[in-house]
Amino acid sequence: MSAPKTQHRSTVPLSDQTRTATGCSQWLLESAEDAGTPIYHFNNLAVFLCGQESFAKIAGDIRRARKSIDIIAWGFDPAMELIRGDKGGSWPRGGTSVNDTSTTYGDLLRAAVQRGVKVRLLVWYDPLLNLAMGNMPGYKTNNGSKGQPGDTYARGANTPLGASADARRDQSPEARRATFNASWYHDTVSGRIEGLSLRTRGSHHADVVASLKADRGYGASPRTVAENTTLELTATHHQKTIVIDYDSTDADAPPVAYVMGLNSVTDYWDTPAHTFNDPLRGQNHEGDGADHSVGSGWEYASSGQATLKPYQDFVCRIKGQAIAPVFKNFVEAWNTARQQDACAGSNDARRVDLKSVPKNLTQHIQGPCQRVQIVRTLPSADGGGEHAIERTYYQASSFARHFIYIENQYFQNSDWARYLKDQRKKYVQGLGAAGVPVTRVPTLHVMAVTPTPERGQMVPRTHDVVTDLGQGDSMPEQDKRIKQELAAHAQYKRDMADYQAKKKSFEAKGLPFPMSPPHAQPLSELAKAHQASSGDKDAQAVRDELANTLGMRTLVCSLWTYDREWSLGKTKVGRQADLERRDYERALRERGRAEADRAAAQARNVSLGGWENHTDSQAPIPQPPDRSKQLQQATAQRYREIYIHSKLMIIDDAFFTLGSANLNLRSFAVDSEMNMASDNWAAATALRQRVWAQHTAGLKDMDGGTDAADQKVLGKTFEKWETEAKDNATRKLKGHALSCSLVKFFDDRTSTIRFG
């Protein structure tokens, strides 16, 4: 298969005198196929980092809303506090007292409809998958009749949070929170919150099957039956958008839209500091308690332990023309969603013309403006649907010259990685044909930040990508397993060649050949993918090849935080090991003193003419138990991985995209997604500087400077990132403080099952 045709051809006149020309890189989609995703020139963009900033801004806009609030969410948690107090504590933490839930998402929307604002909430909900996801805590459809609550709401539904103290006396914060959610959803589905409409949308199996069969993608890595089945049966509606006051002309409440990566579930709230223990973050009982970081092992992650996990993500707030496609997407999705219960509301008959957007959208924006393109993944049984996000990734990457920074939850698309290398090869070869050697080509620094895959079945796809980028040794056990399979297959081919040669010799003599042919299993899809990624080279050889032939340097990191108050001596096993060591040393001292006393008495006896007495040797004092493994595991508890939920890519300070889409096949072809993309250099530069400063704790020479084309500064930044990430991995092994959040990516799990 060929790469998506995204580039719009243009002609640049060449001066006869200077023999030079000035052109402009095409970062956004401009081909005929992208007529449905126009580029909008008049917008004000603001990017917010993590839940604290993002949800506080959303809460402010909800409170200012005058006409409408339209929300698309992967999940919705009414008890989630968008704004949280300074001192932490138990839920609710955002108000002034235990009874104050005014900053919860549910009460913010209640207050809005009480002001006359029309609120519509569209959430992905699959009855089976929801049991595992927990993305709508407290939600059930109304199983009762004539507007009466069904048995599904019996838990806490009749004991609302505002009940008397006696009624709530025995309720823990967890129970009160569950009561709040059950009551809110009961009131909503029963139609008791007038002005608030709720619809859900579920699986879209036929659309996904068609999308996966569409002739798209670069290389189109083969998929196993298990992988295809998983993608088809667990597809979600993953978009996260908000449009507020779309029709407003009020300067105090202008139209705004949000394109987000953050989910509207409490666990996704965090501060940019990502401190180790922050009581403002989601507690274990809130939403999904899985940590996806420390786990039960030492080096790698597991989703089995519940802790105060940190989350990293981004939100883009838009004012201007680009609100139109975000709103159009909502209307189309709303009109085709499930209409059940008294809360379904009515369809929206408006037709949004993306080529002629309402003037009120730009009425209150200010200069300077930024160009924006809204792109989607939207599977459809009719022709496979939209794949504009995939096209955007391919399009923008093809023009990368100095750096690509990726911060993504799932770094699992090897087709994209191979496309990037092929485009780089064409660029280097083109310059070579013009007399420019690779040593004079600006180095392309590829810097990826991604979390440890949360499931073992995600290891193979992640390994494919890091192998493509010369970092296969960051997953040593998977690397080893595949290389063993390839080595066995290579031996089989040698044995087969020897067998055929001997058989031919016997046949030439008219003799029957007494040996059976060697037997081997065919190469697995994992081994074939590895061959395509590395050509059977080891990681260092791939890195050398990337540097020497393509002028590329690569780095893959994770983000970690650590407990500043921690010490090994404060842990249970640390105290036990210390006590055992002290007991052993005391026993040694006591025996030493006894031996010295015996020797002195013997000497005195001999000096007085007595006989020298000889005694049997005493049994050695037992060594203390070897608790090195337990101590190592205890040391691991000082660190907690920052779960990267981000879906961010920045290139050359000239382009950036963020939203709901991950860098995997699921987000490119299966789940419904929405991203924004912009080629505004000022916004891209400011975002890159802020994010890099966040991850490097303000360390010198790690911010990339102010000019992405400054190869000297960028090269030094890359080297410092590489050094600190490697050193932090060593510090983590020893239990030492980290210099910053960057730690070299590492995962020593292995899997033969591959899920996308």
Q: What residue ranges in 563-660 does DSSP mark as E strands?
A: 639-641, 643-644, 647-651, 655-659
User: What is the C-alpha to C-alpha distance for residues 719 and 360, in angstroms, rounded to an integer?
Assistant: 48
pLDDT digits (tens, 9 = 90+) for 667-693: 999 999 999 999 999 999 999 999 999
CA dihedral 296, 302, 305, 307 (to 10 degrees): 110
pLDDT of residue 76 exceeding 50: yes
pLDDT of residue 291 exceeding 80: no
End-to-end CA distance of the chain: 20
User: What is the C-alpha to C-alpha distance for residues 75 and 742, in angstroms, rounded to an integer?
Assistant: 30
Name the average pLDDT for the chain: 88
Distances (CA, A) of 274 to 16, 117, 599: 57, 35, 62
Higher pLDDT, 753 or 42: 42
pLDDT digits (tens, 9 = 90+) for 82-100: 999 876 678 888 877 777 8
Closest by Cα among 646, 592, 720, 629 to 312 = 646
pLDDT value at position 288? 42
pLDDT value at position 6? 75
pLDDT of residue 535 exceeding 90: no
Higher pLDDT, 516 or 46: 46
> Is the CATH code 3.30.870.10 the one for domain 375-477+524-564+640-744?
yes
DSSP symbols for 244-307 = E-TT---TTS--EEEEES--BSGGG---TT--SS-TTSPPTTSS--B-SSS-SSSSS--S--B-
Burial class (CB in 10 A: 0-12, 13-18, 19+), 303: middle
pLDDT of residue 272 exceeding 50: yes
pLDDT value at position 279? 82
pLDDT value at position 289? 41
Identify the band that residue 205 occupies on the pLDDT scale cut at 50, 70 and 90: confident
Mean of pLDDT values over 367-395: 93
Identify the band that residue 124 occupies on the pLDDT scale cut at 50, 70 and 90: very high
Mean of pLDDT values over 583-592: 92
pLDDT of residue 441 exceeding 90: yes
207 token code pair: 């659309």
pLDDT value at position 144? 40
For residue 624, the one-letter residue type is P
Higher pLDDT, 15 or 577: 577
pLDDT value at position 152? 38
pLDDT digits (tens, 9 = 90+) for 468-492: 999 999 999 999 999 999 999 989 9
Mean of pLDDT values over 40-53: 97
For the ranges 68-77, 435-444, 514-523, 615-624, the lowest mean pLDDT is seen at 615-624
- Are 245 and 56 a contacting pair, CB within 8 Å? no
- Are 651 and 396 a contacting pair, CB within 8 Å? yes
Global pTM value: 0.91
pLDDT of residue 627 exceeding 60: yes
With helix as H, strand as E and coil as C, how does 231-247 read?
Answer: HHHCCCECCCEEEECCC
- Are 750 and 479 a contacting pair, CB within 8 Å? no
pLDDT value at position 296? 39
* Domain layout of the chain by residue ranges: 43-202+237-362, 375-477+524-564+640-744, 567-589+627-637
- Are 219 and 3 a contacting pair, CB within 8 Å? no
Identify the band that residue 127 occupies on the pLDDT scale cut at 50, 70 and 90: confident
pLDDT value at position 219? 56
pLDDT of residue 42 exceeding 70: yes
pLDDT value at position 227? 87
pLDDT value at position 522? 86
Q: Give me the percent of the chain exceeding a pLDDT of 70.
A: 90
pLDDT of residue 304 exceeding 80: no
pLDDT of residue 652 exceeding 50: yes
Q: Do domains 43-202+237-362 and 375-477+524-564+640-744 have the same CATH topology?
A: yes
Which stretch, 7-11, 209-213, 486-490, has highest mean pLDDT? Answer: 486-490
User: What is the C-alpha to C-alpha distance for residues 567 and 380, in angstroms, rounded to an integer?
Assistant: 55
pLDDT digits (tens, 9 = 90+) for 686-714: 999 999 999 999 899 999 999 999 999 99
pLDDT value at position 615? 65
pLDDT digits (tens, 9 = 90+) for 628-645: 888 888 888 888 889 899
- Are 254 and 364 a contacting pair, CB within 8 Å? yes
Run of H or E including 628: helix 628-636
pLDDT of residue 440 exceeding 70: yes
Mean of pLDDT values over 589-617: 83
pLDDT value at position 145? 37
- Cβ contacts of 712 within 8 Å, gap of 6 or more: none
Which stretch, 152-156, 327-331, 382-386, 732-736, has highest mean pLDDT? Answer: 327-331
Q: Give me the percent of the chain exceeding a pLDDT of 90.
A: 63
pLDDT value at position 1? 39
User: What is the C-alpha to C-alpha distance for residues 421 and 444, in angstroms, rounded to an integer?
Assistant: 11
Beta pairing, strands 643-644 & 647-651: unpaired
Identify the band that residue 355 occupies on the pLDDT scale cut at 50, 70 and 90: very high
Region 43-202+237-362: CATH code: 3.30.870.10
pLDDT value at position 390? 95
